[in-house]
A and B are shown apart, each in its own frame.
Chain A
Amino acid sequence: MSTERINLLNFSNPSIKTLHVAWVAFFISFVVWFSHAPLLVYMKEALDLSSQQVKALLILNVAMTIPARIVVGMLVDKFGPRVVYSGLLISSSFLCWGFAFAQNFEQLALFRFLLGFVGAGFVIGIRLVSEWFPAKQVGLAEGIYGGWGNFGSAAAAMTLPTLALLFGGEDGWRYALASTGVVAFFYGIFFYLVARDTPKGSTYFKPKRTGGLEVSSKADLYLYIGMNIPMYLALAVLAWKLSPTNLGLLSVITTNALYGVLIAMFLLQLSQIWKVNKEHLRDGVPEIEKYDFKQVAILNWAYFVTFGSELAVVSMLPLFFMDTFSLDAVTAGLMASGFAFMNLVARPGGGWLSDKMGRKKTLSVLIAGLTVGYLVLSQINAGWWLPVAVVATMCCSFFVQAGEGAVFAMVPLVKRRMTGQIAGMTGAYGNVGAVIFLTVLSFVDASVFFIVIAASAAVCLIIVQFVKEPEGHMAEVLPDGTVQLIEVA
């Protein structure tokens, strides 16, 4: 079947223009979000940081994103993508400058933590793109948006160390970081001027109830509640990491207060879940609205090992290459960027494979591939020839990012009506994965870190076997063009 192609060069088409404006925004937010990774070595020297402190920075960076997704989602509901995205970019530029000119570890930690907000930009663009593209193009459009945007972390790894060198001097890294903030600031203004929330003149309907996810049975309700726990657990792990028992960045009182806040937030969410589902479950869920929450849970875990590991690896890889192969920052950044580089094709490619070869099969193959990939990465040591190591990371990252694409190809098929909410929860799980993996990294060396990821991927591979192939009608086109339905089991 031929589909209406998306002609990416047709800038006069407002939808295409919006797609470009959106992915560049996401790209810049990713550059800002991962600007620290290739420059860590300079920071380590300048501020005399310990390895533990560096690793704490990595975790802090991804932690805030978990709750931020929810907040940003609500802001988009209220103010629309245009205002929120430009607001996010402009405010992130100030945080970025704060981080760039931090004078001690505490300041670095604070600004990195707050910069986690910028990672939630993904949600805004997804909303924007879904408003601008009809159903048959939206999958590809979102793949381009997500994949090309994610490429921002590779761009950061490739350019920032060089930029730091060009600025030169002791504070070159600071100016390199600050320059990403400048870009974000001006792009934020540009975005406000150019982007529009919806195609001009589109008809609006009152949005249906938002908030907690509606589930179809009591058992699903428990599973849903259970699936929320890891998000809070991830944040609790971070609080513990920063507590006096570990890094000592926070006082005992603050740590306990944070635990309290987390428990309160969890209870609040519990009450909201209950509110949404109470009547719904009591009155019986109509057949057409039923879906299997298990599907959501499985996709969440699949995203946990794919996107979660990508965020974790992207954060640590430049430093890893530098330490292992004794490279300078520029070369290390360049070599490490190979991992995120694959995003350009792998992510949309994963979606395409999933469409063609069947959902479950694709997901299984890709996760099996990344399990092997991470096992290979765990073997990398100083004895390896550098190009082989780079090729290994790129091969591994292909499976990781194609896996992400395959997950998001399935998300809309679980329950169309709730695609937004399911996508939001799946995305949050990616960040949960990043926090957990990076916390693991703070205790073990890189080799064990890769083995842990491989092991979780192996577990995930088993979980994925329980996913049900989404059913539906498939159409067949006869030679004379007649469209006929064939039932697909």
Chain B
Amino acid sequence: MSEWHLQQKIELSPGQHSCAGLKSVNEDAIGMRIPSGLLQTTKGIATVIADGVSAAEGGKEASEIAVHSFLADYFSTPDTWTVQQSAVRVLSALNRWLYGLGSAAVSQERGHLCTFSGVVIKSRTAHVFHVGDSRVYLWRKGKLEQLSRDHCRRIGENKSYLTRALGLDLKLDVDYHQLALEDGDSFFLSTDGLHEFVNDDEIAACLSAKEYPDAQCELLVQQALANGSDDNISCQWLVIDKLPVEDINETCARLSALPFPPELSPGMLIDGYRIKKQIHASSRSQLFVVIDEDTGERLCMKTPSVNFEDDPAYIERFSMESWIGKRVQSPHVVKVVEPDRPRSFLYYLTEYVDGVPLSTWIREQHKPAVEEAVYLLDQIGKGLRAFHRKQILHQDIKPDNIMIGPGGVVKIIDFGSCYSFGIAEIATPLKRDRVLGTADYSAPEHVLLKKVGPASDIFSLAVVAFEMLTGKLPFKGALAHCRNANAYTSTEYVAAYHENPLVPVWMDGAIRKSLRFLPERRFQEVDELIYDLQHPNPDYMQREHRPLAQRNPLRFWQASSGVLAVSVVVLLYLYFGAA
């Protein structure tokens, strides 16, 4: 399938060992998961260690749950998610679960508590997650470096308390950092039963011996026992022999495995799909209506433009379109159709949306109906939300990419500009293109090549909302010509209610907030914008109608201080002058 060009394999030697030691039960839990194939490419390799807190009753259960569930759930998160989002979401769910189990116990410290340390290796980057006092070390070129910070506080001689643990509190702070890997790097994870009794030099000495990782782990556990460890003892040792090589020739060969289709015209048959007509052609791609000869189903076929035949970055983007499209599920996003037969050319199929683009709707509205616009915007918002939930940005929200189908059902089409944060984590030798979007609708950070995020899509959605409500582009259409920050900040916003008096002030306020220059000052979630388009928010009251203290606090306090100063002077005069 299309995504195979990304396939990467990490060569590694894993080892681990855990024993109860002098205790009767082993409350430590350890686990690794080294998936093969695509899963390794998209989610990576995970190794985790957890130490059930002995003072707690459910320590053993907690650590087992943590390790098992993490290894299962992490790999079930959407493959478009970043490692950080996947792991943090899984860990916070785990934390709530353990907290729930624990709150049934008498006191929280005696509930289901455990430490958690994990390393996920994806492509050429390691992601470290850590809570509690188990440890993660990096072993690089004969040097041992502790990556994690112990979350515990020592009180008195032998007493130490965990300051952070899974299941301790509803709110969980996970330490996260990532580092770029080199061939030969390895990670050593241990619980306090080991590193409290075997110091770093001894660990380093053992690791530098050329042994199998399993054997080395066992040796270290034995040494901890010999040094008098009275706790459960566990450690993991993951050696990365060879990171995936970024070979451009191989990547390109995989990408160009399927040839570009030739010029297509109605009547031609490709893999059993009969070309009916061309709906759209640009300098980047062509779009056709096709009929599946087997089922009679009407579909859309998108084909790449021959202009980019030798542009690997373009081919990658095109191949990823259907990959991304398949992962966004929503009634308001066009469906990518998986063909049931091998493809002999590069193309992909989507469902056929019978309807008009939103641009036509906007053109045909003589007096834009506010309620209808909000009804449509609500659906667009739901579609866009489906992208963002999968950590994908659409990056090209505009009326031409929004179809209004039968029954007023809105669908977002075109995945040609999408950005997947999870895919971006996979190292590639290709120089990927950066999307600048469509001039009138792009957020400033696209054009200025700054960091983009969901707020960038929200900006574009707000431009669309403005256009739907007024039939005009915001900022008097000036966005299309802005090329630098100065140009953006000197644009003049004309409120939507000036263009269309039927638009309420608060609705304009929500749009205006989404059109701010700085992404952090906009809404951060699509739903917030949609909610504020449907519910009057007093924050957006017209400036003139608000009290001065809110409208201009500085002036308010200046004025009050001025009045006070005058009255002090008057009083002083009266007091001394009278005397």
* Bound-complex Cα distance A2 to B249 (A): 36
B7: shortest Cβ distance to chain A, in Å?
A: 18
What residues of A have a CB within 8 angstroms of the CB of B396 in the complex? 203
Selected interface stretch from B43-51, B309-317, B548-556: B309-317
Assess A485 versus B259: contact at CB under 8 Å? Given A3-B265, A416-B307.
Answer: yes
What residues of A have a CB within 8 angstroms of the CB of B433 in the complex? 205-206, 208
* Bound-complex Cα distance A3 to B278 (A): 11
Selected interface stretch from A134-142, A144-152, A363-371: A134-142
What residues of A have a CB within 8 angstroms of the CB of B270 in the complex? 482-483
Q: B267 contacts A204, CB within 8 Å?
A: no
Selected interface stretch from A281-289, A307-315, A322-330, A430-438: A281-289
Q: A134 contacts B344, CB within 8 Å?
A: no
What residues of B have a CB within 8 angstroms of the CB of A480 in the complex? 269
A477 within 8 A of B: yes
What residues of A have a CB within 8 angstroms of the CB of B259 in the complex? 473, 485
Q: A4 contacts B265, CB within 8 Å?
A: yes
A487: shortest Cβ distance to chain B, in Å?
A: 10
Closest to A138 in B: B283
What residues of B have a CB within 8 angstroms of the CB of A208 in the complex? 431, 433
A133 within 8 A of B: yes
Mask, B379-419, CB within 8 Å of A = 1, is: 00000000000000000101110000000000000001100
A290: shortest Cβ distance to chain B, in Å?
A: 9
Cβ-defined partner of A416 (8 Å) among B310, B359, B435: B310
What residues of B have a CB within 8 angstroms of the CB of A205 in the complex? 433-436
Selected interface stretch from B63-71, B437-445, B571-579: B437-445
What residues of B have a CB within 8 angstroms of the CB of A358 in the complex? none
Q: A134 contacts B398, CB within 8 Å?
A: no
Cβ-defined partner of A134 (8 Å) among B281, B359, B449: B281
Q: Is the interface of A mostly helix, strand, loop or mixed?
A: mixed
Closest to A413 in B: B309
Q: A416 contacts B436, CB within 8 Å?
A: no
Closest to A2 in B: B265
Closest to A283 in B: B248
A194 within 8 A of B: no
* Bound-complex Cα distance A44 to B195 (A): 99
Cβ-defined partner of A288 (8 Å) among B252, B399, B434: B252
* Bound-complex Cα distance A136 to B282 (A): 10
Q: A483 contacts B307, CB within 8 Å?
A: no
Q: A136 contacts B438, CB within 8 Å?
A: no
Closest to B305 in A: A135
A55 within 8 A of B: no
Assess A204 versus B308: contact at CB under 8 Å? Given A286-B248, A480-B269.
Answer: no
Assess A136 versus B249: contact at CB under 8 Å? Given A199-B282, A204-B438, A477-B268.
Answer: no
B274 within 8 A of A: yes
A46 within 8 A of B: no
* Bound-complex Cα distance A201 to B477 (A): 13
What residues of A have a CB within 8 angstroms of the CB of B284 in the complex? 203
Assess A133 versus B283: contact at CB under 8 Å? Given A204-B437, A286-B248, A286-B249.
Answer: yes
Mask, B358-375, CB within 8 Å of A = 1, is: 010000000000000000
Interface of chain A residues 466 through 489 with chain B (CB within 8 A) = 473-475, 477, 480-483, 485
* Candidate in A131, A132, A135, A474 with the most chain B CB atoms within 10 angstroms: A135
* Bound-complex Cα distance A415 to B311 (A): 10
Assess A1 versus B263: contact at CB under 8 Å? Given A135-B283, A199-B282, A287-B249.
Answer: yes
* Candidate in B256, B268, B400, B437 with the most chain A CB atoms within 10 angstroms: B268
Closest to A290 in B: B310
Cβ-defined partner of B416 (8 Å) among A201, A203, A477: A203
What residues of B have a CB within 8 angstroms of the CB of A288 in the complex? 248-249, 252, 256, 310, 312
A202 within 8 A of B: yes
Q: B252 contacts A287, CB within 8 Å?
A: yes
* Bound-complex Cα distance A136 to B283 (A): 9
Q: Is the interface of B mostly helix, strand, loop or mixed?
A: loop
A245: shortest Cβ distance to chain B, in Å?
A: 49
A130 within 8 A of B: yes
Assess A136 versus B437: contact at CB under 8 Å? Given A416-B310, A481-B269, A485-B344.
Answer: no
What residues of B have a CB within 8 angstroms of the CB of A4 in the complex? 265, 278, 281
What residues of A have a CB within 8 angstroms of the CB of B449 in the complex? 206
Interface of chain A residues 356 through 415 with chain B (CB within 8 A) = 415
What residues of B have a CB within 8 angstroms of the CB of A218 in the complex? none
* Bound-complex Cα distance A174 to B253 (A): 63
Count of interface residues, chain B, beta-carbon cutoff 8 Å: 51
Q: A481 contacts B268, CB within 8 Å?
A: yes
Q: B437 contacts A203, CB within 8 Å?
A: yes
Q: B252 contacts A131, CB within 8 Å?
A: no
What residues of B have a CB within 8 angstroms of the CB of A417 in the complex? 308, 310-311
Q: B438 contacts A203, CB within 8 Å?
A: yes
Q: A202 contacts B282, CB within 8 Å?
A: yes
Q: A203 contacts B435, CB within 8 Å?
A: yes
B264 within 8 A of A: yes
B34 within 8 A of A: no
B473: shortest Cβ distance to chain A, in Å?
A: 11
Mask, B503-534, CB within 8 Å of A = 1, is: 00000000000000000000000000000000
B342 within 8 A of A: no
What residues of B have a CB within 8 angstroms of the CB of A138 in the complex? 283, 307
Q: B262 contacts A473, CB within 8 Å?
A: yes
B330 within 8 A of A: no
Assess A206 versus B283: contact at CB under 8 Å? Given A286-B252, A481-B274.
Answer: no
* Bound-complex Cα distance A138 to B278 (A): 16
What residues of A have a CB within 8 angstroms of the CB of B417 in the complex? 203
* Candidate in B267, B269, B400 with the most chain A CB atoms within 10 angstroms: B269
Q: B267 contacts A481, CB within 8 Å?
A: yes
* Bound-complex Cα distance A293 to B565 (A): 82
Mask, B91-103, CB within 8 Å of A = 1, is: 0000000000000
* Bound-complex Cα distance A136 to B359 (A): 26
What residues of B have a CB within 8 angstroms of the CB of A482 in the complex? 268-270
Closest to B275 in A: A481
* Bound-complex Cα distance A289 to B310 (A): 7
Q: A201 contacts B269, CB within 8 Å?
A: no
* Bound-complex Cα distance A386 to B64 (A): 102
A373: shortest Cβ distance to chain B, in Å?
A: 34
* Bound-complex Cα distance A205 to B399 (A): 19
Interface of chain A residues 1 through 50 with chain B (CB within 8 A) = 1-4
What residues of A have a CB within 8 angstroms of the CB of B502 in the complex? none
Mark B residues whose CB is within 8 Å of A. Answer: 248-249, 252-253, 256, 259, 261-265, 267-270, 274, 278, 281-284, 286, 305-312, 344-345, 359, 396, 398-400, 416-417, 429, 431, 433-440, 442, 449
**16 additional A-B residue pairs with CB within 8 Å, beyond A136-B281, A198-B439, A203-B396:** A4-B281, A132-B283, A134-B282, A134-B286, A201-B398, A202-B438, A203-B284, A203-B437, A205-B433, A206-B434, A206-B449, A286-B252, A288-B312, A417-B308, A417-B310, A483-B261
**Can you give 19 contacting A-B residue pairs, CB < 8 Å?**
A1-B262, A3-B263, A130-B283, A136-B306, A138-B283, A201-B399, A203-B436, A203-B438, A204-B435, A208-B431, A288-B248, A288-B312, A416-B308, A416-B311, A473-B262, A477-B268, A482-B268, A483-B261, A483-B268
The 9 lowest CB-CB distance pairs between A and B, nearest first, are A475-B262, A134-B281, A204-B436, A206-B434, A481-B269, A286-B248, A288-B252, A482-B269, A135-B306
